[in-house]
Structure 1
């Protein structure tokens, strides 16, 4: 396997773009090579196969979609209440909106995982790790609610993000007086997170 880390990262990012744009069926080494603007055959020197590329896309997406430490540190200066949880959920929404391609690729990975047991195993482990980390963060920060609160917020945000990035018109006007999507974030937090 080739060892140039910059080129590997460029190939993985190109794979993310292809996956988001064309779905798993369009994710070929040739398409990745074209997306990275490298000679045909380059990707095959960096990945042992399609499953290896998909696993590396999963790892890279976690980096791309992770919170900015400086933004998180600034947010965490606020009182540990519902308003902070709302701000944290809005930060998630901003990040996935800013890297729409990355999140759409993650959705494609989820779909592909239904057909590939090895990917299902690795993606389940990485997403479960994210959920566990979110629960630990919530507890350690002293935010209101417990693990159940985090699990329900996770599911609610997953649904909101899916609609917002794929079919945003579905939610427009559904709840008169509620701004989409920010107002929905506030509404979800108010319904899910205990007041104290």
Structure 2
């Protein structure tokens, strides 16, 4: 297998675009080569098979979603209250929807995982690890709420993002900030601990 990291990343990014546009059935090495604007046969030199490409596409989506260092610093330095949590959730929704191909590709990968046990195992481990990391970070940072708060926000905001990317007229963009604020406010219990920074 070829080892040029920049070329591999470009091919995986192309796979994400193909997945988002064509679905999992449209993901072929030829389609990836075409999307990446490389000679036919290039993708097959970098990935052992289609499952390898699917798995790496899922991992790459999460790499591209990672917030930059300044966003992490903002959490650490900011207040530990509902308003700050709301701002962080708005930032997260914006970051994920700013990469629509990644989100739609991940939905395609989840659907494909219902038919591919190995892909299901990989996605389950990756998504569970991400959720556990978010729970740990939330608790360690002293934000209000508990692990259940994080899980409920995860479920609610993921569905909001799905609606925005697939059926955007259901919740127009002008409603998104208010919906995020309402989700935070209603999910946090009145007795959720609020810690001082």
Q: For structure 1, which runs of at least 5 residues remain unmatched after alignment?
A: 173-177
Would you say 1:188 and 2:183 are equivalent positions? yes
User: Separation in 1 of the partners of 2:147 and 2:106?
Assistant: 24
| Residues 15 and 57 in structure 1, CA contact (< 8 A), matched pair in contact too | yes
Q: Is the 8 A contact 2:97 2:165 kept in 1?
A: yes
Specify every segment of 5 or more residues in structure 2 that has no aligned partner in the other structure, as ranges. Answer: none
Superposition deviation, residue 149 in structure 1: 0.8
Q: Give the paired residue count.
A: 191
TM-score, normalising length: structure 1:
0.93
TM-score (norm 2): 0.93
1:76, 1:186 → 2: CA distance? Answer: 20
CA–CA separation in structure 1 for the residues paired with 2:189 and 2:79: 15
> Could you say what the CA RMSD is over the residues aligned between the two structures, in angstroms?
1.4
After TM superposition, give the deviation of residue 69 of structure 1 in Å.
Answer: 1.6
Contact 1:76 1:84 in 2 (8 A): no
2:112 corresponds in structure 1 to 112
Where in structure 2 are the equivalents of 1:134-153 lying within 5 Å? 134-153=134-153
Task: For residue 66 of structure 2, give the secondary structure of its aligned residue in structure 1.
Answer: coil
Preserved CA contact (<8 Å) 2:75 2:141 = no
Please name the residue that 2:31 is paired with. 31
Runs ≥4 residues deviating over 4 A: none
